Chains A and B, each alone.
Chain A
Amino acid sequence: MTLVEPELAARVLERALAHGGDFGEVYAEDRYGFALGLDDSKIERPQTGSERGAAVRVVNGDATYFGHVDGLAGDDLVRVAESVAQAVRAGDARRPAALAAARAEVVHAIRERPEEIDVARKAAVLRECDDRARGEGGEVAQVMASYAENRRVVEIFNSDGLAAGDDRTRVRLGVQVVARRDGRVETGHETLGGHVGFEILERDPAAVAERAARKALVALDAVDAPSGRMPIVVGNAFGGVLLHEAVGHGLEADAVQKRASVYAGRLGDALAEAFVTAYDDGRRTNEWGSDGIDDEGTPTQRTTIIEDGRLVSYLYDLLRARKDGVASTGNGRRESFRHLPVPRMTNTFFAAGSQTRDELIAGVDRGLYAVSFGGGQVEPATGDFVFGVSEAYLIEGGAITSPVRGATLIGNGVEALAAVDGIADDLRIATGFCGKAGQRVAAGVGQPHVRLRALTVGGTAA
């Protein structure tokens, strides 16, 4: 499909820059989504949505002028451009460069288009998840499963002559299980997803439900979490949320340029042991946080953020890259045509090391194995973070012992990075959603198992 003809895009850009401006952009989007839930063994809340809209942006110096509208009617786009130009008042009209047509390419191969799959098969996946989770034991009290697919076709034109497009499809399955024993209630959660087609759910999707059920059941035996400073082994996959929150957000160039990041002015500094390398990789094939281009038309790429322990790059969109005199790293992302692009992570993860998980655990006499987090929060300006640990175990004498509940990890990103003293070889990436500036985007979080020398655990044990 074509959303905006190049002639119309050119006319809109010309109007947008009628009162000057350094940069003009038209962003058009067609969004489709379908979602289905299962609760109490019943399929519920089926919903489908279709939206089309466009945004016009003009940058003049440090100021951005932005407008958006529902629908892609030519007259509406021109009207938005004129309204944005009204606010600019920079001076003389600027002539945008000539434009070619934007082609929405499929960069990450989709084998089975989800919208072409019979909805009955999607419902069947959820029912299979329900059965499998309940089959794990009589203490499984509730199973909630959700299926979601979406497709976003985007086209971007800018005054530098860029004309680019991207055709993105994502599929995600999530299962939450509640287990009950006497008065105790615990939950387990697992997801599977990617920038991928329905094929991701072809091979045993209910394994997700089985893992969620096991987590909930194991937690029934959990003891109260200890408090105090101790070594931590952080799980792979969703354990990477620690890197995402405590380091990644601080590397986003908007925070850095406003001195709202502890990592400002620290490029080239050794922040971690020499065996530590980390990437933001929006190109990783079929990964959850991947795209073909970012939401400003820059091709996605693998950016090394930490190399051999040194901080080597921040994450840039066009605006912040221009300010620092560097190239965009393809991290200009936005939730939809209703939002301004800002520097955002794509898939952010520690590179695999050479040890095994068991070797990392064997090196701990008394500590915590934090497998997965319920979520977290970080203050990028200070790097201070708090994470709720959703699945954790005690490590005693180099071995995993009892499950624990109610643990939180409290610390500081810079300190935590310096405390990494071992990385395993089992890299996995999980499907996260990242919120920033009121926008929610798909972000892959991941890592191999990672060991930290010491971190504060806020527990519930008296």
Chain B
Amino acid sequence: MSATDLERAAVRAVEAAVAAGADDAEAWAEHAVEREVRVYDGAVESLTDAAGNGVGIRSFSDGRWGYAYGTDLSEAGLSSLAGAAAAAARIADPDEHAGLPDETGAADAGALASPVLADWDTAQKVELAIEVERAARAREGVSQVEEALYADAAQEIAIANSRGFAASYESTIAYAWASAFAGEGSDLMTGLGVGMARDPSGLDPESIGAEAAQRAIDLVGARQPEGRRCPVVLDTFVAASFAGFIGGMLSADAVQRGRSLFAGRVGDEVAGQPFVLVDDGLHPEGPSSAPFDGEGSPRRRTALIEGARLLTFLYDARTARKDDRGTTGNAGRGSYRVPPSVSTTNLVLEAGPETLDDLVRRAGDGLYVATVAGLHSGVNPVSGTFSVGATGRLIENGELTTPVREITIASDLVTMLRAVQAVGGPGRWVPFGGSVRSAPVLIAEMQVSGA
């Protein structure tokens, strides 16, 4: 199916919804071809080949809206979905702010689909995954590579609405990761290596495997240290998880519903000067870049925290109307199975000139946090207080030393952000916290609990 065929299907879905009685309607359609290779011990463990398509219809009527989705794009299938969406709308209470966006259009997001993906056959992809695994196993100290994976997807997305807007685009993504173990028994530690690009030629299997190995090896022999208050350096992966969480809290929907610690704080000083966070829906390298958002508004770049201050929240059409302003093009769409809701696109934590080693040297004596666990259960979204499990290494005299585990780091998000002394580099796209261009972060002081 081509993107224009899909666009036609979306237009037909809208027509069906209007015929079923909708005042206004919107259809979001997807078609994807996916390939996934998992390898273990130098051989294919599983090979998945899949194709799928689906459509979701939003039906607006008398200030109410309902949603229906399905996989049947035939006339009969679309008409049955349109009926289901209209029936769903009748159950909802009226929402004066709901409705199609006032601003629709497609921005220039650059080339999102790489033609190179089609040039790679399955055997080459299997070989890439095996190379990732081999690179991890090759490192001395690695006791096991639990999983090495390569996956890609080529997808077409189309949207249409009853005010005559219709658009579509194609995109591709390829990624690989490995999970390596180092040590044995109760000393066993794990490490992840990842890479993502628009096609497999942008992935370096050697560095992905080596990263998984190094992260595991660095933690072998970890023990629970004494608790302390000290400077903390967050690894790039960990900083991404925090950035993703903060991005979620900057959704205008979370704010308007009273579920964000940032409510009422636009203009306030919420972070250290070096902490600059941007939502960039059009970033040329961004895995989540697209010309339009989940309801057809053009995507754009929105600075969230800059110059120490909170500049804005992220909006879709509904939350924008409620705040009497314009959308920021942040109606997210997990898939056609869910109606649009406010979400981040690509978060960019602006990288600084210093390396991780520089940050560690500046920390002097403190803690380097390599992984955190339980971020989403450990943070109170309204108060921002958190306490999360972590592993990492002690920093002594400006050097990484003893590995540590079974520790928690505790603070509240704004206190932590304001204590940011430096963001290092290089910036790097990672699949943690959504789609984030992340970098290591130095925090002046945090509470670390251990034994």
B45 touching A62, Cβ below 8 Å? yes
Point out residues on A near B: beta carbons under 8 Å. 36, 39-40, 42-53, 62-71, 83-84, 87, 119-120, 122-123, 141-142, 178, 184-187, 225, 227-229, 258-260, 262, 338, 340, 373-377, 379, 381-382, 384-388, 390, 405-408, 410-412, 414, 456, 458-460, 462
A52 touching B72, Cβ below 8 Å? yes
A49 touching B69, Cβ below 8 Å? yes
B47 touching A187, Cβ below 8 Å? no
| B449 CB contacts on chain A under 8 angstroms | 227, 458-459
Could you name 7 residue pairs across A and B whose Cβ atoms are closer than 8 Å?
A46-B67, A46-B89, A47-B67, A48-B87, A259-B144, A262-B186, A458-B389
B219 smallest CB distance to A (angstroms):
10
B67 touching A459, Cβ below 8 Å? no
| B67 CB contacts on chain A under 8 angstroms | 45-48
| B383 CB contacts on chain A under 8 angstroms | 184-185
A44 touching B52, Cβ below 8 Å? no
A388 touching B40, Cβ below 8 Å? no
Known: A43-B91, A381-B181. A70 touches B53 (CB 8 A): yes
Q: Name the interface residues of B177-207: CB closer than 8 Å to any CB of A.
A: 181, 186, 188-190
Q: Does B21 contact A (CB under 8 A)?
A: no
B45 smallest CB distance to A (angstroms):
6
Q: What residue in chain A is nearest B386 (Cβ atoms)?
A: A406
| B389 CB contacts on chain A under 8 angstroms | 377, 385-386, 408, 410, 458
Q: What residue in chain B is nearest A411 (Cβ atoms)?
A: B406
Q: What residue in chain A is nearest B36 (Cβ atoms)?
A: A66
Chain-A contact segment, one of B243-251, B281-289, B295-303, B372-380: B372-380
| B66 CB contacts on chain A under 8 angstroms | 46-48
B238 smallest CB distance to A (angstroms):
14
Chain B: number of interface residues, binned into ranges: 35 or more
CA separation between A287 and B259, bound complex, in Å?
A: 32
B266 smallest CB distance to A (angstroms):
19
Beyond contacts A44-B93, A87-B47, A412-B186: 20 other A-B pairs, Cβ-Cβ < 8 A, are A45-B92, A46-B88, A46-B92, A48-B66, A48-B69, A50-B72, A66-B46, A68-B50, A70-B54, A84-B49, A122-B91, A141-B258, A186-B380, A262-B188, A338-B50, A375-B376, A377-B374, A377-B377, A386-B373, A388-B374
B307 smallest CB distance to A (angstroms):
26
| A84 CB contacts on chain B under 8 angstroms | 49
| A141 CB contacts on chain B under 8 angstroms | 258
Q: Does B270 contact A (CB under 8 A)?
A: no
| A459 CB contacts on chain B under 8 angstroms | 387, 410, 449
Q: Does B311 contact A (CB under 8 A)?
A: no
Interface pairs A-B: 4 shortest CB-CB: A386-B389, A458-B408, A375-B377, A388-B377
B227 touching A227, Cβ below 8 Å? yes
B93 touching A42, Cβ below 8 Å? yes
A49 touching B70, Cβ below 8 Å? yes
B50 touching A410, Cβ below 8 Å? no
B88 touching A48, Cβ below 8 Å? yes
A184 smallest CB distance to B (angstroms):
7
Q: Name the interface residues of B345-404: CB closer than 8 Å to any CB of A.
A: 373-374, 376-378, 380, 382-383, 385-389
| B45 CB contacts on chain A under 8 angstroms | 62-64
| B373 CB contacts on chain A under 8 angstroms | 377, 379, 385-386
Q: What residue in chain A is nearest B381 (Cβ atoms)?
A: A187
Q: Does B3 contact A (CB under 8 A)?
A: no
Q: Does B68 contact A (CB under 8 A)?
A: yes
A178 touching B258, Cβ below 8 Å? yes
Q: Does B257 contact A (CB under 8 A)?
A: yes
| B146 CB contacts on chain A under 8 angstroms | 258, 260, 381
Q: What residue in chain A is nearest B410 (Cβ atoms)?
A: A460
Q: Name the interface residues of B1-60: CB closer than 8 Å to any CB of A.
A: 40, 43-54
Q: Does B134 contact A (CB under 8 A)?
A: no
Known: A44-B92, A62-B40, A381-B181. A340 touches B46 (CB 8 A): yes
Q: What residue in chain A is nearest B38 (Cβ atoms)?
A: A64
A254 smallest CB distance to B (angstroms):
10
Give B62-90 as 1s and 0s: 1 = Cβ < 8 Å from A's Cβ atoms: 00001111111000000011001101110
B336 smallest CB distance to A (angstroms):
9
| A228 CB contacts on chain B under 8 angstroms | 451
Q: Does B323 contact A (CB under 8 A)?
A: no
Q: Does B339 contact A (CB under 8 A)?
A: yes
A322 smallest CB distance to B (angstroms):
15
Q: What residue in chain B is nearest A56 (Cβ atoms)?
A: B49
A176 smallest CB distance to B (angstroms):
10
| A390 CB contacts on chain B under 8 angstroms | 377
A418 smallest CB distance to B (angstroms):
13
Known: A71-B71, A377-B373, A382-B188. A63 touches B43 (CB 8 A): yes
| B53 CB contacts on chain A under 8 angstroms | 70
CA separation between A62 and B410, bound complex, in Å?
A: 44
B39 smallest CB distance to A (angstroms):
9
Give B197-241 as 1s and 0s: 1 = Cβ < 8 Å from A's Cβ atoms: 000000000000000000000000000100100000000000000
A230 smallest CB distance to B (angstroms):
13
B200 smallest CB distance to A (angstroms):
17
Q: Which of A42, A185, A258, A456 contacts B406 (CB 8 A)?
A: A456
